[in-house]
Amino acid sequence: MRFLPLADITRIVDSKPWKAHLYVTEHCNLNCSYCNEHDESIPSPTLSQLKQWMKKIRDLGVVYLSLMGGEPLMHPDIVEVVRQAKSLGFEGVGIVTNAFLLTKEMASDLKKAGLDALTVSIDSITPTQSSKKALNLVKNKLEIARDAGIYIAVTGVLLEERLDESEQLIDYCLARAIPVQSRLVHQDNVFRRGMELDRSNSRFEKFLNMERERKKLGLAISSSWNIIDYQQALLHGKPVKWKCLAGYKYFFVSSQGHFWPCSQLRTEKSIMEITGEDLKSYNTAKSCQNNCGVYCIYDVSKTVGDRRESLKAEIKRQFLFYTGNIFSSLWFQFREITRLPWKYFR
């Protein structure tokens, strides 16, 4: 059994920030309809700027850094950015990518630079009008990353026009012991577009129940129980008691070096001017937290807010996850051999 890293336990109970996202570019090779996190008019930061911002983020106490965009693989110095981040002592450095631009050479270089995780955004099996992030277009990229020895995970947005494919995507990943999750589209507080989903659609509920059942089996569903419960509450319009810790335990830094409490709550403050006391001032509920869909913020906020239960649940999750990797492959191979519907195995 693998226990929680000391850094995680420490950040759950202390007053320092735990995780941060850094936008290494606003440029993207795709244009997904639900995305508000790219702007082709904004130039990408230089390596020198990124090094300066990463050092500041680390000095503030962050232990996990996620590099994102836009499409982070479009930054010409992305390998060196990873190398510099690792040299600063982050416990984990990851990249969130659509993987279209990943090559064997780049994957090898990223691994050598110290990349800890590659999270690939995939929404469906085939491209849709809303999103081109389809498994059929990047299946070989997952293999490239794996062959390079990079830890990979898959995350996606649930699209009404491809809900059936979302379940196929889940099964494809679980059969290969790839951690995976698909989530309801988050509320857009930048362009005020609201949650782009029909809450009355029972297929969303069915999908979340499917993820719940697979997770109970110990399969590699990476959404936490906090997030699964929260999404179901959102679908039913039920109030959820929690305090948003965006800006305190988790924050974002834009490609212009601006401090953002979260991706949907943005300021013009320079990250270089932010102090530990500034971060602590965000240890308060936010007016925009109702129906919030920035799930990474919710998860960390809930984990810190319910420390005792979170630690117990996380230890159990770790056990299920690592034993589930073995069970996952055997389970889905058995299903393929028998070709019987899932219901017969409940």
Q: What is the per-residue pLDDT across 208-244, written as a single tens digit (0 to 9) for each?
A: 999 999 999 989 999 998 999 999 999 888 999 999 9
> Given this model, what pLDDT does residue 63 score?
97
Burial of residue 90 (CB within 10 Å: 0-12, 13-18, 19+) is buried
Burial of residue 3 (CB within 10 Å: 0-12, 13-18, 19+) is exposed
Cα-Cα-Cα-Cα dihedral of 8, 258, 287, 243, to 10°? 10
> Given this model, what pLDDT does residue 237 score?
87
Q: Nearest Cα to 220, choosing from 322, 314, 343?
A: 322
Task: Say if residue 259's pLDDT is above 60.
Answer: yes
Per-residue pLDDT tens over the stretch 168-198:
999 999 999 999 999 987 665 554 444 455 6
Task: Say if residue 35's pLDDT is above 60.
Answer: yes
Per-residue pLDDT tens over the stretch 260-318:
999 989 999 999 999 999 999 999 999 999 888 899 999 999 999 988 776 676 566 66
106 vs 309, higher pLDDT: 106
Q: What is the mean pLDDT of residues 236-254?
A: 95
Domain residue ranges of the chain, discontinuous segments joined by +? 17-345
From residue 156, alpha-carbon distances to 19, 44, 129, 196, 270 in Å are 20, 25, 15, 15, 31
What's the chain's average pLDDT?
87
> Given this model, what pLDDT does residue 186 score?
63
> Given this model, what pLDDT does residue 286 score?
95
317 vs 49, higher pLDDT: 49
Lowest mean pLDDT among 202-211, 265-274, 331-340: 331-340
Q: Which of left, alpha, beta for 312 (phi over 0: left; psi -120 to 50: alpha)?
A: alpha
Give dist(CA 194, CA 292) in Å, integer: 10
- CA–centroid distance for 105 within its chain: 25
Asked whether 101 and 73 are in contact (CB, 8 A), the reply is yes
341 vs 198, higher pLDDT: 198
Query: CATH classification of 17-345, choosing from 3.40.190.10, 3.40.50.300, 3.20.20.70, 3.40.50.2000?
Result: 3.20.20.70
pTM of the model: 0.86
> Given this model, what pLDDT does residue 9 score?
84
Per-residue pLDDT tens over the stretch 155-170:
998 888 888 899 999 9
Length of the chain: 346
Highest mean pLDDT pick, 84-93, 122-131, 299-308:
84-93
> Given this model, what pLDDT does residue 86 score?
98
Cα-Cα-Cα-Cα dihedral of 280, 243, 247, 69, to 10°? 160
> Given this model, what pLDDT does residue 338 score?
55
- Phi/psi at 246 (5° precision): -60, 135
> Given this model, what pLDDT does residue 131 score?
85
- Two tokens at 190? 């930048």
What percent of the chain clears pLDDT 70, i.e. is strictly above it?
A: 83
Confidence tier at 62 by pLDDT (50, 70, 90)? very high
Lowest mean pLDDT among 92-106, 204-218, 248-262: 204-218
Task: Say if residue 58's pLDDT is above 80.
Answer: yes
Per-residue pLDDT tens over the stretch 128-138:
877 889 999 99
Which amino acid makes up residue 307?
A: R
